[in-house]
């Protein structure tokens, strides 16, 4: 008999250790001291000026690049003094930057800056730096900084190049519009929930239309759309989200958006913790685990909790392993929401059979071997072998069958299927923790699988697949099936 347990709130994961704390200095109109006139110093002068700083350069020798930069500064003025820096120059500066070839001058400058209470960076000399500069992706006011703590600058630049390709230039205009419209949104008469919905509508439109210039008519349309929702915008909702079989990279974009907008996430034991990393950090995460033949929250308790939270105005995500519509009890949860007049949305996920087949390189409907694909459950509501399985369909040589939750009943299922005509030599596989790094596979004839599965004691969740479409799996080279027990 399954042991009942209550929903429990998961303790938020602590922030992983940071080699550097990413911060963004507000330098508009502030004074920055730059000691050095080299080409490297000129690049830092350009960067500081672009951030709006008043840059004061002190050096006995000034490169042509620095003179050119001062003559055509991108933002704040760049003032050049052809002399060595002094301690008095550092007083009142927002930050100090040094460009020195030797450690002695670097140490002297860093000590003087710290004595004046000014954060200091000495170019290419991390031992004398209070902060560092990373690779930058500029879609200002959207700005992304990338740091490898000086360990691999080339790697940081490669990542920057990838982000540059991913982020449309038009995001700069949308980010600027967000800043411009923020006060107008507050004055629009929208409630707190309405304002949050406005920014969700804004973001969805910006992501879909990044190169379209934001217009005042867009603002009016977004506000009208939110107001058109009426009281619904202030009421809670439930979204059933498929987390996929485990690999977080198999999440859909829609699933990620749901996780990032959730107030509360109710998740199962079978959901990979890596998937939860995509959730909004502030969201409450509650384990409402249901494990086969282990401690489980009653479905009625989950339904009541889900509805109660939504009635409090919360955006609830019910996060399920695989696809919520495939053996995920979605029907009962949808019914509970409908009965309580709670808006419910469904975000499908990749079910375990698809994920496992993709990882193993199998076509479940290979036309040489299979004309039908069927999903069945290995146990009924009682926990026993279902008595209404279509055994003729299971024994059909041209069918690929995926059996969910099969561990406890597999021996009885196979015995019955063999008696109903299933060939004992039919290829089969048991896949544990499909698509995850610790995925394990047992591949053999179906007649041998129950004994081998019992002996292996694979960790859950386990999926069994049967059919001639798995034929190649039995004769695959060792390197392909490195995870096969």
What amino acid positions are annotated as catalytic residues? Answer: 268, 290
Instruction: Report the C-alpha gap between 94 and 43 in whole angstroms.
Output: 18
Q: 242 with 323: CB under 8 angstroms? A: yes
Long-range contacts of 68-75 (CB under 8 A, 24+ apart): 68/42, 69/42, 69/45, 70/45, 73/45, 73/46, 73/49, 74/46, 74/49, 74/50, 75/49, 75/50, 75/51
Give the contacts of 469 (CB within 8 A, at least 6 positions apart).
362, 363, 364, 365, 366, 369, 370, 400, 427
Q: Quick one: which of 276, 342, 353 has its CA closest to 307?
A: 342
Q: 125 with 100: CB under 8 angstroms? A: yes
Beta bridge partners of 284: 264
Q: 456 with 444: CB under 8 angstroms? A: no
Distances in Å between the Cα of 42 and the Cα atoms of 69, 133, 326 are: 7, 14, 61
């Amino acid at each position: 008999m399954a042991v009942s347990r209550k929903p429990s709130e998961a303790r938020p994961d602590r922030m992983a250790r940071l080699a550097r704390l990413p911060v963004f200095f507000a330098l508009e109109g502030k004074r920055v001291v730059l000691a050095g006139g080299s080409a490297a110093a000129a690049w830092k002068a350009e960067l500081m000026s672009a951030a709006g700083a008043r840059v004061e350069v002190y050096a006995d020798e000034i490169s042509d690049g620095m003179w050119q930069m001062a003559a055509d500064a991108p933002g704040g003025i760049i003032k050049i003094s052809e002399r060595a820096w002094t301690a008095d120059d550092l007083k009142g500066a927002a930050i100090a930057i040094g460009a020195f070839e030797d450690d002695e001058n670097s140490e002297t400058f860093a000590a003087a800056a710290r004595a004046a209470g000014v954060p200091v960076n000495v170019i290419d000399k991390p031992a004398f730096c209070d902060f560092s500069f990373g690779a930058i992706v500029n879609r200002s006011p959207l700005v992304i900084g990338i740091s490898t703590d000086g360990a691999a600058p080339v790697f940081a630049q490669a990542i920057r190049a990838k982000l540059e390709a991913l982020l449309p230039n038009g995001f700069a205009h949308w980010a600027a519009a967000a800043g411009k419209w923020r006060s107008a949104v507050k004055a629009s008469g929208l409630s707190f929930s309405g304002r949050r919905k406005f920014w969700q509508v804004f973001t969805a439109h910006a992501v879909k239309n990044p190169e379209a210039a934001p217009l005042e008519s867009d603002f009016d349309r977004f506000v009208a759309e939110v107001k058109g929702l009426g009281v619904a915008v202030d009421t809670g909702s439930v979204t059933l989200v498929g987390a996929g079989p485990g690999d977080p990279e198999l999440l859909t974009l829609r699933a990620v958006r749901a996780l990032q907008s959730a107030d509360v996430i109710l998740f199962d034991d079978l959901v990979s913790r890596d998937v939860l990393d995509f959730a909004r950090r502030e969201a409450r995460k509650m384990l409402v685990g249901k494990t086969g033949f282990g401690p489980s929250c009653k479905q009625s308790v989950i339904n009541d909790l889900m509805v109660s939270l939504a009635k409090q105005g919360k955006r609830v995500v019910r996060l399920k392993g695989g696809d919520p519509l495939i053996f995920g009890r979605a029907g009962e949860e949808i019914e509970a929401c409908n009965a309580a007049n709670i808006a419910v949305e469904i975000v499908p996920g990749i079910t375990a059979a698809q994920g496992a087949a993709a990882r193993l390189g199998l076509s479940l409907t290979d036309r040489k071997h299979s004309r039908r694909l069927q999903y069945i459950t290995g146990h009924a509501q009682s926990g026993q072998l279902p008595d209404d399985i279509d055994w003729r369909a299971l024994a059909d040589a041209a069918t690929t069958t995926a059996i969910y939750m099969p561990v406890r009943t597999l021996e009885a299922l196979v015995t019955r299927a063999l008696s109903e005509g299933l060939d004992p030599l039919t290829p089969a596989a048991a896949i544990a923790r499909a698509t995850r790094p610790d995925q394990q596979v047992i591949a053999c004839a179906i007649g041998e699988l129950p004994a081998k599965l019992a002996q292996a004691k694979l960790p859950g969740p386990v999926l069994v697949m049967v059919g001639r479409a798995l034929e190649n799996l039995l004769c695959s080279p060792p390197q392909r099936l490195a995870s096969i027990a």
